[in-house]
Amino acid sequence: MDTTDALHTTTSSPLTALVTGATSGIGREVTLQLADAGWRVIAVGRDQQALEQLGAASERISPRAADLLEDDLAGLVPEQLDALVHAAGISGGDGVEQTGSEEWSRMLTLNVTAGAQLARHALPALRRSRGTIVFLNSGAGTAARPRNAVYAASKHALRALANGLRVEEESNGVRVSSVYPGPTDTPMFTGDVDRSELIRPASVAAAVLTAITASPDVQLTDIHVRPRRELSW
């Protein structure tokens, strides 16, 4: 059975996913791939024009404008939910010496706290559906690099969140996965490299869908997506 077939069900209503960071990069690709496979997708982002384009791309996509740093996250979660994908995030930052508390707070709030609070509000629905939570992490979630301590700290925290939540929800049937993309051709990646060697966002999105559509008897806890040739920095 291919991924598209696995995403379809025989139930009378389509499966529903909520995707943050849906207006660009990997989140956008996840949204489009899920909609193409028959899911209803609540696409959350801040870029109104990009949200309108998503809504025009498929009648299955329901755009929702929201700022995860400020807005009420509980209001984003529908009564029926089968998958939550937290793809929103910010990169950048600098070393510890150069980073003040405001930047620390912003990075941790969007990369970690927003995902945790969305998961908290979504748990009742996901328990009913025995659904899946996917946190989009990063290679920085497993190893820090020079001048990247703040971002890496947020992604290590996101990894710990996923691991802890997985244990907490094991008896409730909710699966929790982390996807760790390597250098990916998105607006977040600003490295001075040949962009043709970067991972395509659609390839990472396919890995996210693999986690969501895994056989009911398993959960894919950690998926690492690396380029065919590792880049030198």
Reported as type and span, the H/E element at residue 116 is helix 114-129
pLDDT in tens, 127-140: 999 999 999 999 88
DSSP class per residue in 210-228: HHHTS-TT----EEEE--S
Give 140-191 pLDDT, tens digit per residue. 898 888 778 899 999 999 999 999 999 999 999 999 999 999 887 776 666 6
Print the SS3 string covering 24-70: CHHHHHHHHHHHHCCCEEEEEECCHHHHHHHHHHCCCEEEEECCCCC
Query: What is the structure's pLDDT at 198?
Result: 84
Q: Where are the domains of the chain?
A: 3-225
- Residues catalogued as catalytic: 151
C-alpha dihedral over 65, 6, 203, 23, to 10 degrees? -10
Question: pLDDT tens, 54-67?
Answer: 999 999 999 999 99
In this prediction the pTM is 0.90
Q: What is the pLDDT of residues 71-116, one digit of tens each?
A: 889 999 999 999 999 999 998 767 888 889 999 999 999 999 999 9
Domain 3-225 carries which CATH code?
Answer: 3.40.50.720
For tokens 């939540």, what's the residue? 165
